Structure 1
Amino acid sequence: MNWQAISFDWNQVRAFLATAEEGSFSGAARVLKSTQPTIGRQIGALEEALEVTLVERSVRGLTLTESGRDLLLHVRAMGEAATLISMVADGKSQDVTGEVTVTGTDLLSAAILPRVLKPLRDAAPGVRVRILASSEMENLTQRDADIAIRHVRPDQHDLIARHLGDFRANLYAATDYLDRAGRPRTARDIADHDFVGNADPERLMAPLYNMGVPIRAESFVMSSASGVVAWELVKAGYGVSMQPETLGDAEPGIEKVLPDFPSLEFPIWLVTHRELQTSRRIRIVFDTLARGLAERVGRGTRAA
């Protein structure tokens, strides 16, 4: 369905968005300072207007239908844009000040976050961002960070988590390495090449084996706990490595080892504290990250 061609009642859209994010009518009512029956009526009216079922109700709670999940992607973007436009229009974004700490893996922090966060300098120049390159979820629970970008959903009940989609990864190598070692013609041929690994390269062996690449532990001639170092080793021509397609496809002198080799997918979760509901500086950074990362997921992956 072409959601963008349909006129929405914004109150109904806000009720749906809050319900999806809070997981219940009561949670949405609390956030919107409304009542549970009102939220239910607004979503019912939205479903009637769209002629689809958005939310399924059961004794176990609420779940989104496929149509509901599809609509959610669009209304989130609408909500984030509306918030930023409103703040810019009345000057509030210029008044938002303070530090926000964002944590992500070192490779994501170095290669992707600088571009994603660039619009923030114009929208809210008073916000100072500190980037913490780390993969530890404890950064949030111990309040070392305000926002985390992770590949797994947290199970702590006091955190807000949004799935932005799935990045895809594939096997890449430097062109000069493949010129020397030869380009594989089949998945089996890839196993004869040198490999560059990350923190635990053996974790890659099982999925590659299932994909027809019987790689061995001794194939990893270089490895590093740092994703940035591993990426630089690939660019320097040490061998083959599993890397995000959003990086590999854009890097000069780097190519996919086998053009039709299937991709691996890994989720991108944006995680923060409940303070998101009340802190304008965290909200504006969170929304900037959500838009920028979702755009990159859309370019290099199939959106979830």
Structure 2
Amino acid sequence: MDKWSELRTVYHVAKLGTVSKAAEALDMHRATVNRHIDMIESDIGGRVFIRHSRGYTLTELGQEVLQVAERTTEMLDNLTCRVNGANALIDGEVLLTLVPQMSVLVVDGVAQFRAQNPKCRVTIHGTYDLVKLEYGEAHVALRAGPKPDYPDYVVRHFKDLRFSLYGHDSYFRRHGAAAGSEDLDRHMFVLPPRDLTYIPFQGWIDNNVRQDQIAVIANSPPFHFQAVQKGIGLGFLPDFEVENDPAFNAVLTNKNDWYIPLWLVTHVDVHRTDKIQSFLQALTDQDNH
């Protein structure tokens, strides 16, 4: 299917919500927008949008088409930036906001960006608050959990934050080793509260941990790390956080669904600037170097 223009049209209708807004943004007639949608739907053999009185909503198939359109748009934008800005000097500041303990995940990318753009300062703001990108509180946000769906945000998958159940040598010296899942009914646990919005291993906890096995409940990830390190109990920790410390031992290694997706989020008004594109590319490329 050779439909670059039609994919671009679908992208704008999905982001803006109506044919009229998309037509205005693309400087084309409404009939042309509708024709592009019809051509895409005819080619793939299914509905991309649900039409209703308030505008257009993506179908499940449309969500897949949108992912293709987003990748296509990004690649074309990146190419344009490289061609037009190859000799441009990037300066000023990039402000990145993230949960504090995730800062280690972007160090290599920040180092790469700084090497390429020595005149541009990177400011990293660690916070648990969701800053408002539309108010300019940050240029880029690294967010965890379900994919953000704010209409003016551009969202790119960064990586998956994977978890395993760990114990520390300080715990095993007092309580003995845990020999897999069949040997956990005599051990204690450090757990998050059940009402947190997104805990990928909550189902396992419900099925395998009794109330009398819970030593501590805390909603602070840094406390979880320290509590497991102090030997209070077994706990779920991100693999990256302990992978270089041999005193932490995985009792149950990461299951397929024990992960939280991480997203790089920008506002549409700044997303296509050379500075932000260069910064996003450095973060995305860091694991490939």
Fold similarity call, TM over 0.5 = yes
Q: 2:106 & 2:81 partners in 1: Cα distance?
A: 23
Q: 2:95 & 2:186 partners in 1: Cα distance?
A: 41
1:272 to 2:263 alignment: no
TM-score, length-scaled by structure 1: 0.69
Q: 1:84 & 1:119 partners in 2: Cα distance?
A: 17
Deviation at 1:166, TM superposition (A): 8.1
Deviation at 1:189, TM superposition (A): 1.6
| Higher mean C-alpha displacement, 145-154 vs 94-103 | 145-154
1:71 to 2:65 alignment: yes
Deviation at 1:150, TM superposition (A): 2.4
Structure 1 residue matching 2:184: 3-state secondary structure: helix
Whether contact under 8 Å (2:94, 2:139) holds in the other structure is yes
Match of 1:192 in 2: 187
Structure 2 residue matching 1:271: 3-state secondary structure: strand
Structure 1 residue matching 2:266: 3-state secondary structure: strand
Superposition pairs of residues 102-121 of structure 1, within 5 angstroms: 102-109=96-103, 111-117=104-110, 120-121=113-114
Whether contact under 8 Å (1:103, 1:148) holds in the other structure is yes
1:129 to 2:125 alignment: no
Structure 2 residue matching 1:257: 3-state secondary structure: strand
Deviation at 1:116, TM superposition (A): 4.1
Q: 2:221 & 2:157 partners in 1: Cα distance?
A: 24
2:76 is matched by which residue type in structure 1? A
1:147 to 2:140 alignment: yes
Residues 286, 62 of structure 1: alpha-carbon distance in 2 compared, 3 angstrom cutoff: farther
Structure 2 gaps of 5+ residues are: none
Of 21, 31, 54 in structure 1, the residue corresponding to residue 48 of structure 2 is: 54
Structure 2 residue matching 1:76: 3-state secondary structure: helix
Q: 1:117 & 1:156 partners in 2: Cα distance?
A: 26
Matched residue count:
281
1:186 is matched by which residue type in structure 2? S
Of 153, 161, 171 in structure 2, the residue corresponding to residue 160 of structure 1 is: 153
Of 210, 217, 220 in structure 2, the residue corresponding to residue 214 of structure 1 is: 210
Whether contact under 8 Å (1:87, 1:93) holds in the other structure is no
> Alignment identity in percent?
20
Larger radius of gyration: 2
Residues 156, 64 of structure 1: alpha-carbon distance in 2 compared, 3 angstrom cutoff: closer
Residues 168, 112 of structure 1: alpha-carbon distance in 2 compared, 3 angstrom cutoff: closer
Whether contact under 8 Å (1:163, 1:269) holds in the other structure is yes
Deviation at 1:103, TM superposition (A): 0.2
Whether contact under 8 Å (1:102, 1:148) holds in the other structure is yes
Structure 1 vs Structure 2 CA RMSD = 4.2
TM-score, length-scaled by structure 2: 0.72
2:140 is matched by which residue type in structure 1? I
Q: 2:213 & 2:136 partners in 1: Cα distance?
A: 38
Deviation at 1:104, TM superposition (A): 0.5
1:101 to 2:101 alignment: no
2:6 is matched by which residue type in structure 1? Q
Whether contact under 8 Å (1:117, 1:288) holds in the other structure is yes
Q: 2:170 & 2:19 partners in 1: Cα distance?
A: 57
Structure 2 residue matching 1:95: 3-state secondary structure: coil
Deviation at 1:91, TM superposition (A): 3.0
Whether contact under 8 Å (1:170, 1:244) holds in the other structure is yes
Structure 1 gaps of 5+ residues are: 1-6, 297-304
Q: 1:122 & 1:54 partners in 2: Cα distance?
A: 42
Whether contact under 8 Å (1:171, 1:240) holds in the other structure is no
